[in-house]
């Protein structure tokens, strides 16, 4: 039996677009003489459809699409994921369609409700594990979470399954691929049954789906892995007599470390901009490391002709920063403008002179500088339709080292889940591809340049210390005592945690950004704005 793996990039809610992708892959499967073609979880609706699942008209479109797939009367059997509603309940389902007839509709048994998942909000879990006999092979369909636990695969094996086909929508974070592979390999080995795993690929708001569809022999051996961060199509053959899979093509090369994260960011920007219909992107280019990396990601994602960079100097902006921003823009070939914010800032201050009389300079004046820049960028966005990319990194977003309606003003934050220390690593990686970030941007102390001779470390711990504390507190939910036990100064730990806690209101108003860690701000880490929890540990 030949099984085709169709790894596609779907758009949530665009049933017609998704159906066309599926039909195109069916044609590929026919050309490849496949017996079965497998698509990812909820392929027809895209994943995750969220509250679209509460709309009855969505299910009308899904039913029309399923009818159209049946009407193809295809010789190739189709395993396609879709939401299904019956008797007032909604299921996460996959249909097995062959020659104009749906031979089996499987409903997902285990519904994830942790991290970025909230499937129990929408779906009803099933308990049946049907097996279908097709061309002499007993096939079981298990959807995503069903294979992360032992029981569903065991039940399928006891029901006589000889091959598992698994539609998935498994979101990416750095380091997940080997964990996921180990789980799939374990299910195959535990039950002496080959597993074919098909994942979707692409960006969906904060989430990245990395693809990496794969096939595992009954001994747990990985025999094929599809492309990472890209669409792919491949076939494997199943020999029932030997209980083995054979790949018809070599595995795609998988990215390494910073290269993998870079490609995830590129995919996230590309899909967010294109799927939302923006003609391009623009950003404020400060001459600093964050905006330099953001610009390079944007150009890699969208092409130089679809990205604009704007330098908005003030009297505290160094000549070095202006020079470096210009060099970055020229290296990447993007349109580059310089718009001074001094007259705008002075106009603001003049208008507020009466109210501010007798007060001392503080962060208020610094934030007004940032808000002048935000206003310029949003004005250009309104006029030309391009999406404003903000440039704040995870370290800054965590502790509130950013300005509401200033550098936080925009539509998408490329580095929202990227720590400052990782930003430096990404800059060094990108320069191995081509030199686009000046060396002194990487080596000089970071500064917001909102005050004379300002440096980030005047207000924050060194980033290697800050990021270690943030990883423990934000990503691992470690307590103060646990973090101190790692070797960090207790006063510094308490200060950082307080900054994280009191800035939740800023993060709620921040633009979405790409998730690359196992715990990102946004739909992943959800903390109350109003909370007295931290006061108990003073």
Q: Give binding residues as ranges.
A: 114, 170, 176, 284-291, 367, 391, 396, 506
**Is the pLDDT reported for residue 537 higher than 80?**
no
* Cα separations in angstroms, 453 against 318, 460, 476, 509: 9, 15, 35, 30
- State mean pLDDT over 492-497: 94
In the structure, what pLDDT confidence band is assigned to residue 175 with cuts at 50, 70 and 90? very high
Q: Give binding residues for ATP as ranges.
A: 284-291, 391
As annotated, the active-site residues are 41, 108, 144
**Is the pLDDT reported for residue 458 higher than 90?**
no
The Cα 537–Cα 535 span in angstroms is 5
In the structure, what pLDDT confidence band is assigned to residue 99 with cuts at 50, 70 and 90? very high
- State mean pLDDT over 228-238: 97
- State mean pLDDT over 14-21: 97
Quote the tokens at residue 378: 């949003």
The Cα 504–Cα 1 span in angstroms is 53
Range of the domain at 331: 258-537
In this structure, the answer to whether residues 399 and 356 fall within a common structural domain is: yes
Domain closes at, from 236, 254, 272: 254
Tell me the per-residue pLDDT of 188-197, one tens digit each, with 9 for 90 and over: 999 999 999 9
Tell me the per-residue pLDDT of 392-451, one tens digit each, with 9 for 90 and over: 999 999 999 999 999 999 999 999 999 999 999 999 999 999 999 999 999 988 776 677
**Is the pLDDT reported for residue 299 higher than 90?**
yes
**Is the pLDDT reported for residue 457 higher than 80?**
no
In this structure, the answer to whether residues 165 and 186 fall within a common structural domain is: yes
**H or E element that contains 261:** helix 257-275
The Cα 311–Cα 449 span in angstroms is 13
In this structure, the answer to whether residues 179 and 281 fall within a common structural domain is: no
In this structure, the answer to whether residues 70 and 171 fall within a common structural domain is: yes
- Tell me, what CATH number does 224's domain have? 3.60.110.10
Tell me the per-residue pLDDT of 131-171, one tens digit each, with 9 for 90 and over: 999 999 999 999 999 999 999 999 999 999 999 999 999 99
In this structure, the answer to whether residues 451 and 486 fall within a common structural domain is: yes
Domain closes at, from 208, 233, 254: 254
In this structure, the answer to whether residues 250 and 264 fall within a common structural domain is: no
Domain closes at, from 254, 269, 286: 254
In this structure, the answer to whether residues 139 and 249 fall within a common structural domain is: yes
**Is the pLDDT reported for residue 223 higher than 80?**
yes
User: What is the 3-state secondary structure of 17-34?
Assistant: HHHHHHHHHHHHHHHCCC
- Tell me, what CATH number does 417's domain have? 3.40.50.620
Q: What one-character DSSP code corresponds to residue 277? A: T
Q: Phi first, then psi: what are they for 110, rounded to 5°?
A: -105, 125
Q: Give binding residues for L-glutamine as ranges.
A: 114, 170, 176
pLDDT at 444 (0 to 100): 86
In Å, how far from its chain's centre is CA 463? 24
Q: pLDDT higher for 278 or 253?
A: 278
In this structure, the answer to whether residues 522 and 460 fall within a common structural domain is: yes
pLDDT at 452 (0 to 100): 74
In the structure, what pLDDT confidence band is assigned to residue 536 with cuts at 50, 70 and 90? confident
**Residue 396: which of 319, 313, 457 has the closest Cα?**
457
Could you please report the per-residue DSSP string of 64-111? HHHHHHHHT--SSEEEEEEEEEETTEEEEEEEEEETTEEEEEEE-S--
In this structure, the answer to whether residues 281 and 426 fall within a common structural domain is: yes
The Cα 514–Cα 398 span in angstroms is 15
Q: Are 449 and 317 in contact (CB under 8 A)?
A: yes
pLDDT at 480 (0 to 100): 95
In this structure, the answer to whether residues 275 and 220 fall within a common structural domain is: no
Q: Are 272 and 297 in contact (CB under 8 A)?
A: no
In this structure, the answer to whether residues 297 and 163 fall within a common structural domain is: no
Burial 466-485 (b: 16+ CB within 10 A, else e): bbbbbbbbbbeebebeebbe
Token pair 């990782």 in the structure block, residue? 422
In this structure, the answer to whether residues 263 and 343 fall within a common structural domain is: yes
Tell me the per-residue pLDDT of 148-157, one tens digit each, with 9 for 90 and over: 999 999 999 9
Question: What is the tally of structural domains in the chain?
Answer: 2
């Amino acid at each position: 039996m030949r099984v085709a793996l169709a790894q596609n990039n779907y758009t949530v809610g665009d049933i017609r677009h998704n159906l066309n992708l599926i039909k195109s892959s069916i044609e590929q499967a026919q050309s490849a003489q496949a017996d079965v073609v497998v698509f990812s979880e909820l392929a027809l609706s895209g994943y995750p459809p969220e509250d679209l699942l509460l709309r009855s008209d969505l299910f009308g479109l899904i039913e029309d699409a399923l009818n159209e797939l049946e009407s193809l009367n295809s010789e190739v059997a189709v395993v396609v994921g879709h939401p299904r509603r019956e008797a007032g309940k909604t299921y996460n389902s996959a249909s097995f369609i062959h020659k104009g007839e749906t031979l089996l509709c499987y409903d997902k048994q285990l519904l994830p409700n942790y991290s970025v998942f909230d499937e129990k909000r929408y779906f009803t879990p099933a308990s049946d594990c049907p097996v279908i006999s097709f061309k002499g092979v007993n096939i079981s369909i298990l959807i995503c979470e069903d294979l992360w636990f032992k029981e569903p695969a065991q039940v399928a094996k006891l029901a006589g399954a000889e091959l598992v086909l698994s539609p998935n929508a498994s979101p990416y974070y750095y380091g997940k691929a080997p964990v996921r592979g180990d789980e799939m390999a374990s299910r195959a080995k535990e039950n002496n049954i080959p597993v074919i795993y098909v994942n979707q690929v692409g960006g969906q708001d904060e989430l990245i789906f990395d693809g990496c569809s794969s096939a595992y022999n009954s001994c747990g051996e990985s025999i094929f892995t599809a492309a990472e961060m890209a669409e792919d199509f491949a076939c494997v053959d199943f020999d029932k007599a030997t209980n083995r899979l054979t790949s018809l093509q070599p595995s795609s090369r998988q990215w390494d470390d910073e290269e993998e994260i870079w490609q995830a960011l590129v995919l996230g920007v590309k899909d967010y901009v294109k799927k939302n219909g923006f003609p391009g992107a623009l950003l404020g280019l400060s001459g600093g490391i964050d905006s330099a990396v953001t610009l390079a990601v944007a150009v890699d994602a969208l092409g130089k002709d679809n990205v604009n960079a704007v330098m908005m100097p003030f009297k505290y902006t160094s000549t070095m920063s202006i020079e470096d921003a210009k060099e970055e823009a020229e290296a990447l070939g993007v349109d580059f403008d310089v718009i001074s914010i001094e007259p705008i800032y002075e106009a603001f201050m003049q208008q507020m002179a009466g109210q501010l009389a007798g007060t001392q300079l503080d962060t208020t004046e610094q934030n007004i500088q940032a808000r002048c820049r935000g206003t310029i960028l949003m004005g250009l966005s309104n006029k030309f339709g391009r999406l404003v990319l903000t440039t704040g990194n995870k370290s800054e977003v965590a502790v509130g080292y950013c300005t509401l309606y200033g550098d936080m003003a925009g539509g998408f934050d490329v580095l929202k889940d990227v720590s400052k220390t990782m930003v430096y690593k990404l800059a060094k990686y990108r320069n191995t591809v081509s030199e686009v970030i000046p060396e002194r941007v990487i080596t000089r102390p970071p500064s917001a340049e909102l005050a004379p001779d300002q440096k980030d470390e005047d207000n924050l711990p060194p980033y290697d210390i800050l990021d270690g504390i943030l990883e423990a507190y934000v990503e691992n939910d470690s307590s103060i005592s646990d973090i101190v036990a790692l070797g960090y100064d207790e006063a510094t730990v308490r200060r950082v945690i307080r900054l994280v806690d009191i800035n939740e209101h800023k993060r709620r108003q921040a633009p979405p950004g790409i998730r690359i860690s196992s715990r990102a701000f946004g739909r992943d880490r959800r903390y109350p704005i109003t909370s007295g929890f931290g006061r108990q540990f003073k």
